[in-house]
Structure 1
Amino acid sequence: MLKSYRPLFSIPHLPNLFVWSLAARLQVAGLPIGVTFLVADWTGSYALAGVVTATLTVGTAVAGPLRGRMADRGRVDRLVAVCGLVYSAGLLALALLPGSLWWAAVPLTLVTGLFMPPANQVGRALWPRLTSGPDRTTMYAAEATFQELLFVVGPLMAAAAVGWGGGRAAVLLMGATSLVGALGFAAAIRRAGVAAAPVPTGGGRAARGRRSLLLRPELTVLIAVCTLLVGGLAAVDLVIVAWARELGSPGHAGGLAAVWALGSLVGGLVAGGLHGTPRIPRRAFSAAFGTALLIPLLPPLTELPTPWLLSPVLFAAGLAIAPTLAAVTERLGDAAPEDRRAEAFGWMSTGITTGVALSAPLTGWLVDAGGVASAVAGGAVLILAAAVLTLRVPQPGPHGTLGTVRAA
């Protein structure tokens, strides 16, 4: 299996770019924890903390395609570096804001979110420029797999900072992490010689006056798939937290989430070692089925003696997550015009952010109305809807045409 990953290490600059692209987004999963505790310390209200976190999310979602378009048309290293500087300055200002001026955090986080370093879309747009064929498939699988680690390490870093110095310390740590990651990624891009926008191979100038990417049916379907898929996955994350809280053991949430992420990590590593073109529907329906397996094992349908008995099923449910995200991401990169890939991945980031934002209130309502089992059922329905949509995505062959070689 690992033989498929070895060629990636021989591609000039690719390992360095990959590591720094991950470092530049390490703070994404941990920052909401820091902001929540910071605002809750100021106001005593988790509702107001949610408002501030939501404005940060809105800014990030709005900026996704805009930053991607800028990356497609200018120097990527400068864009990443400038965004990193402004974003970290915004987080520093937030951390140092007096509690009596908590209301100023709303416009501040909105503006700060607009400058989140576009490491996601820039990195994903770079991989097709550096890889091709099976190496490209393996690269996207590796990214989806290691991103799961970010969603474990980032929150752990933020939680440790909260325990040491409160929400202020966590926000400062996430700001410093973002700055180091962004500047390191910008330097890696410059050293690799891929800072300039890609030159389209055909009809480049005419294509620049083009219509919105959202008017391209295949791209719109893929972005909708990301929105629904991540919304369903976010529902399970929230349910794990809510269930641990109901049990009076909040510490269980981190362990159970880690088991779920470990399943995704293993699945991603295996998928990256497979040959042939990934079958997106097969992977998406597997993710929906795995999530559905959790439903009968949760309250009020079942009261397990200990939540750790759910671990084997959580692990199995996670196996298809990274493979599905990797296949969708690779297909999006193939479907986007060569000189608009960063913009396309910016829309993907917006779709992912939207999915998380819409999932939170829906999941909360389902937990209140029918318990954690009903909330997981809601998440499974969202993932199933994403799987159904994947049936509308054309399946390319190894060289971009319809083919018969397939991988799981």
Structure 2
Amino acid sequence: MNFGLYREMLRIAPIRRVLLIGMIARFPHSAAGVLLTLHVVNTMDRGYAAAGAVAAVVTIGIAVGAPWRGRRVDTVGLRRALIPSVIAEAVIWSLAPHASFEWLLVLALVGGVFTLPVFSVVRQSLGVLATGEQRRTAFALDSIATELIFMMGPALGAVIATRSSVIGLTAVGLSSALAGLLLIWFNPPTRTPEAANSVTAADEQAAAAAAAVAVAPANVQEAPMELTGAGLPDGPQNLFGRLRNGLAGNFGWVTTSVAVVFAVSVGAGLLLSSTDVGIVALVEAGGNASEVGIVFVAWCAASAVGGILYGAMNRRISPMLLLLAMGVLTMPMAFATGTLSLALLSIPPGLLCAPVLSSASERVADLVSEERRGEAMGWYGSSMTAGTALGAPVAGLAIDVIGPWSGFLMAGGAASLLVLVTLTVRHFVRRPVPAA
């Protein structure tokens, strides 16, 4: 390990700035999960399954919106892409705490779609500012910074929720909007100057080609029809060919290796959201809701330590193996008997949290070209939120039916099973087909 890598990385002013902006922008939503859960359970007097449903709707919205938001950053630039998010964050989360449960679900979905894309923007910018082996350290630093925020955010959210979850959720929306304005002001780079210039040139060529086609209809009519069907009306075959070509052009960057990383992201989201709900439920069941911050501090501090160690390593570890180990180590949290024992049992899986996310982000940055990296990071975030959407309600249902301890067994077992299934599928996809 070489801990001097961190000193070298933090000497780079743009990287320091991006990390600081990321911490500030992530803080509001780090408290939102606990605030929403306790708002539904305590203020609205609903169960944990209902709270999990709200969390699932939010994450479904994020999963739908993240690729679109990432693609907008790629095509129109960061500042224009963030304006809708700034407006939506301020309006929706100011209305949500005053809505009925049914309208809360609707607002949560819309709010998720327009959530400030902090994760993808910060990771995309770090992918530009750091290259090669530097990316491991840069992404590890971002994971460490994120864990520091999540040590404070949920604890603060729990304290505020015991007093007024309405004020807390409103504060989340307004502070998220301010964070978006801060991102617009600093405008961190999401593309190298060379790539930006090449995209501009490509756009000019495409515009010229479109203009040439538009002004030559007579020539097209006079030309003989080819048997390939290029000049035929839009029949089923032509439509299928266009659809196939369009999908190949839009998703040609999705290789088997990229799909495996997305599977890791799904498993990580499922594991983290289920563990999150399980921690709140177990501490709440003991009548000590205000102590939930103790567990989150231990869990996130362990993740920060794990991120520091991983970022200083000179070799890469497969994100699949890291996720498998994290899933297995999460299951013993079911045997906790109180806040202190739960905090201690959260340390082993917590040590692997930041390394899982750092390793997966590094793989995306390495596998996807720069001009599509914003979209790729958006899909990576969508995969994680899809896992979160699946994990939160299932864990909440298990907690309501069986007990708080069951959420940890479900979380660890499901994530481990997903890894094993993905590894099996990858083995058969990569296995050479025998000659006939």
Tell me which interval the TM-score lies in, with the shorter structure as reference length. 0.7 to 0.9
Task: Give the alignment's TM-score, normalised by structure 1.
Answer: 0.81
> What SS does the aligned partner of 1:359 have?
helix
Counterpart of 1:183, as a letter, is L
Counterpart position of 2:62 = 60
Counterpart position of 2:379 = 347
| RMSD, aligned α-carbons | 3.4
> What SS does the aligned partner of 1:116 have?
coil
1:316 Cα offset (Å): 2.2
Structure 2 distance, partners of 1:307, 1:171, is 25
Does residue 92 of structure 1 match 2:98?
no
Residues 261/219 of structure 1: CA separation in 2 closer, same or farther (3 Å cut): same
Residues 204/269 of structure 1: CA separation in 2 closer, same or farther (3 Å cut): farther
1:267 Cα offset (Å): 0.7
Contact 2:280/2:289 (CA < 8 Å) preserved in 1?
Answer: yes
Unaligned runs of 5+ in 2: 207-244, 428-436
- Deviation string 1:291-342 (CA, Å, 9 cap, x unpaired) is 24445x34xxxxx4x5423544321231111111110111012112221111
- Which sits farther off after the overlay, 77-86 or 65-74? 77-86
1:124 Cα offset (Å): 1.0
Corresponding residue to 1:76 among 75, 78, 81: 78
Counterpart of 1:256, as a letter, is V
Counterpart position of 1:224 = 263
Counterpart of 2:24, as a letter, is A
Counterpart position of 2:358 = 326
1:10 Cα offset (Å): 2.4
Structure 2 distance, partners of 1:156, 1:378, is 24
Counterpart of 1:69, as a letter, is R
1:215 Cα offset (Å): 4.8
- Which sits farther off after the overlay, 175-184 or 385-394? 385-394
Counterpart position of 1:174 = 172
Computing the radius of gyration over CA atoms, which structure comes out larger, 1 or 2? 2
Contact 1:68/1:345 (CA < 8 Å) preserved in 2?
Answer: yes
1:66 Cα offset (Å): 0.5
Unaligned runs of 5+ in 1: 299-303, 395-408
Structure 2 distance, partners of 1:195, 1:14, is 14
1:56 Cα offset (Å): 3.3
Name whichever structure is richer in helix by fraction: 2
Residues 107/294 of structure 1: CA separation in 2 closer, same or farther (3 Å cut): closer
> What SS does the aligned partner of 2:27 have?
coil
- Deviation string 1:49-108 (CA, Å, 9 cap, x unpaired) is 66555443332221011001111111112322442233212223445x5x5x66544433
Residues 176/373 of structure 1: CA separation in 2 closer, same or farther (3 Å cut): closer
Residues 251/109 of structure 1: CA separation in 2 closer, same or farther (3 Å cut): closer
> What SS does the aligned partner of 1:228 have?
helix
> What SS does the aligned partner of 2:196 have?
coil
1:240 Cα offset (Å): 2.1
Counterpart position of 1:146 = 145
Contact 2:158/2:290 (CA < 8 Å) preserved in 1?
Answer: no
Contact 1:290/1:316 (CA < 8 Å) preserved in 2?
Answer: yes
Contact 2:191/2:371 (CA < 8 Å) preserved in 1?
Answer: no
> What SS does the aligned partner of 2:115 have?
coil
Structure 2 distance, partners of 1:53, 1:376, is 17
Counterpart position of 2:106 = 107
Contact 2:300/2:350 (CA < 8 Å) preserved in 1?
Answer: yes
1:393 Cα offset (Å): 7.8
Counterpart of 2:123, as a letter, is R
Q: How does 1:8-407 map to 2 (within 5 A)?
A: 8-36=9-37, 43-46=44-47, 52-94=54-96, 97=98, 103-164=102-163, 166-189=164-187, 198-199=195-196, 210-212=249-251, 215-295=254-334, 297-298=335-336, 304=337, 306-368=338-400, 370-388=402-420, 389=422
Contact 1:200/1:339 (CA < 8 Å) preserved in 2?
Answer: no
Aligned length: 382
- Deviation string 1:24-61 (CA, Å, 9 cap, x unpaired) is 22222322444455566875445766655544333222
Contact 1:159/1:170 (CA < 8 Å) preserved in 2?
Answer: no
- Deviation string 1:128-162 (CA, Å, 9 cap, x unpaired) is 21111232110111112222223232223333433
Contact 2:158/2:292 (CA < 8 Å) preserved in 1?
Answer: no
Structure 2 distance, partners of 1:168, 1:21, is 25
What's the % identity of the aligned pairs? 23
Counterpart of 1:210, as a letter, is G
Counterpart of 2:58, as a letter, is L
Counterpart position of 1:3 = 4
Contact 1:141/1:272 (CA < 8 Å) preserved in 2?
Answer: yes
Residues 213/221 of structure 1: CA separation in 2 closer, same or farther (3 Å cut): farther
Structure 2 distance, partners of 1:136, 1:189, is 20
Counterpart position of 2:432 = none
